[in-house]
Amino acid sequence: MSEYQWRAVAAAATLLAYAAMCSAIFWRLRRRRRQDAATAAALAGDRDRPATLVLHASQTGQALALAWQTAGWLAEGGEPVRVLPLNAVGADDLRQARRALFIASTYGEGDPPDGASVFAESVMDSAHADAWPALHYAVLALGDRQYRHFCGFGRRLDDWLAARGAQPERARIEVDNADPAALAQWRQLVRRSPGGPDDATPETSAASASPKLAWRLAARELLNAGSAGAPVFLLSLVPRAGDSLPEWRSGDLARLHLQADPGRPRDYSIASLPAEGSLQLMVRQERHPDGQLGAASGLLGTLLPIGGEVQLQLRPHHGFRLQGNDDRPLVLIGNGTGLAGLRSHLRHCAASGRHGHWLMFGERNAQHDRLLGSEIDGWLQAGVLARMDWVFSRDQEERRYVQHRLLTAGDDLLRWLERGAAIYVCGSLQGMAQGVDAALRQIAGDDLVRELLRSGRYRRDVY
């Protein structure tokens, strides 16, 4: 066989493999949507009885996962349930409700998460003076004591409900970093609710949607050789021999559990799809002022040998998935290792034949920090990306960041939004995400931003 024939055979094999991967992704998504619809219908139960509202305020998906688990416990006792994001609820809904269970995370320095920001502004911060003495409620506040305003939004929500005259079923339950004891108190409250089963058998936390598994490091690639910044690595991990590859969706997270520090797991955006055969992460190696490597990034970037194993737990990140935005043009904005979460979405789009998206990405210098540049060039050539804006902060005297580029592209962004585009932001909260949010509000106005949040067309995975 000639060299030309060999190349033709190889190209055909590649196309067949690509088609098989696309088909597998399509059917998996279709099956999941049917399952989600069936679950919601089953939980609704008897529509002639008032349903308990299970309301979630989520950023990374933990509150959402706990809301669905809570709804399952209630449904076991025959109680009809409606699961809703707080952004989908108005004052009238609470005035008419018999019972509401609130599961609220906190974002940044005590702020409401994206899943509740519209509710906080349009309902909690408005001049509603109604009293709701008929509403019985409970609040599960999720937080992390490493942050100054621990459970800040959950506490504010609880105080606000009490000021409206609503009746608390018990004192607010506060959860530090998915603490099992606090979650057990919530489980006991829900499962002992009227009509519910009175056992309190331990169950897996909703934050632990998949079990911890041993993953083997298959490859490690330095992406920014020569950079003045800290090294950024692309890691490929596979399950331990004999274990099957679990499923996840673009936008989901991998939680690293460290043996030396079991109380502080680290979350990383997944940069690949299951059909590709490995779980990929982008990790920037941190170094403390005393010269020591960061515990998690040092392990993944340097200390873990090829073939070494780590414990990972896959976490659905419902607030950053494409759900509802699969057929929309995407405006993807990020910096640094935030490219990981955006990459998974673009790989999904490439696999499913969805073209015409816009990526805006920021790093330090074009010479050394053009992360995954060849792959991004390929998306441009194939049409997956209709537009690519690289923003290198230190390639000019005055530092420029993605929020500055967004402001200069404001008219273009408005045209994309008029076409129905969805905005996804991934990367650092301080500086980038806050600056992008301010720029977006300056370009589109607060009312449109609220509508984008309410409809799920503005999603963030920030840290």
Tens-place pLDDT, residues 261-276: 766 888 999 999 999 9
Q: Cβ(336)–Cβ(271) under 8 Å?
A: no
**Tokens 């489980």 identify what position?**
187
Mean pLDDT of 78-95: 90
Give the other-Cβ count within 10 Å of 383's Cβ.
12
Q: Is 398 exposed, middle or buried (0-12, 13-18, 19+ CB in 10 A)?
A: exposed
Q: What is d(CA 116, CA 296) in angstroms, rounded to the nearest whole number?
A: 31
**pLDDT of the residue at 162:** 92
Any idea which fold 213-316 has? Elongation Factor Tu (Ef-tu); domain 3 (2.40.30)
Instruction: Say if residue 211's pLDDT is above 90.
Output: no
pLDDT classification of 175: cutoffs 50, 70, 90: very high
CATH architecture of 45-191: 3-Layer(aba) Sandwich (3.40)
* CB contact set of 341 (below 8 Å; sequence gap of 6+): 251, 269, 270, 271, 320, 334, 424, 426, 461
Any idea which fold 322-462 has? Rossmann fold (3.40.50)
Give residue 257's Cα distance to chain centre.
18
The DSSP bridge partners found for residue 254 are 268, 314
**pLDDT of the residue at 424:** 97
* Dihedrals phi, psi of 254, to nearest 5 degrees: -115, 125
Q: Cβ(368)–Cβ(228) under 8 Å?
A: yes
Same fold, 45-191 and 213-316: no
Nearest to 227 by CA among 284, 300, 301: 284
Q: pTM, whole model, 2 decimals? A: 0.76
Q: What is d(CA 405, CA 362) in angstroms, rounded to the nearest whole number?
A: 10
List the chain domain ranges. Answer: 45-191, 213-316, 322-462
**pLDDT of the residue at 129:** 59
Quote the tokens at residue 92. 């009238």
Least confident range of 136-150, 219-233, 344-358, 414-428: 136-150
Instruction: Say if residue 206's pLDDT is above 60.
Output: no
Q: What is d(CA 71, CA 11) in angstroms, rounded to the nearest whole number?
A: 49
Q: pLDDT for 127-161, tens place per residue?
A: 665 788 899 999 999 998 877 889 999 999 999 99
Q: pLDDT for 104-127, tens place per residue?
A: 999 877 889 988 999 999 899 876
Q: pLDDT for 9-31, tens place per residue?
A: 444 444 444 445 445 544 454 44
Strand pairing class (232-239; 213-222) = antiparallel
Please report how many Cα atoms fall inside a 13 Å half-sphere around the Cα of residue 242, on the Cβ side: 1
**pLDDT of the residue at 56:** 95
Nearest to 154 by CA among 142, 163, 165, 167: 142
CA angle 218, 223, 229 (to 5 degrees): 130
Please report how many Cα atoms fall inside a 13 Å half-sphere around the Cα of residue 167, on the Cβ side: 8
Mean pLDDT of the chain: 86
Angle between helices 3-44 and 62-76 (to 10 degrees): 50
Instruction: Say if residue 224's pLDDT is above 50.
Output: yes
Instruction: Write the Ramachandran bin of 324: left for phi over 0, alpha for psi from -120 to 50, otherwise beta.
Output: left
Q: How far apart are the first and last CA of the chain?
A: 54
Give residue 18's Cα distance to chain centre.
27
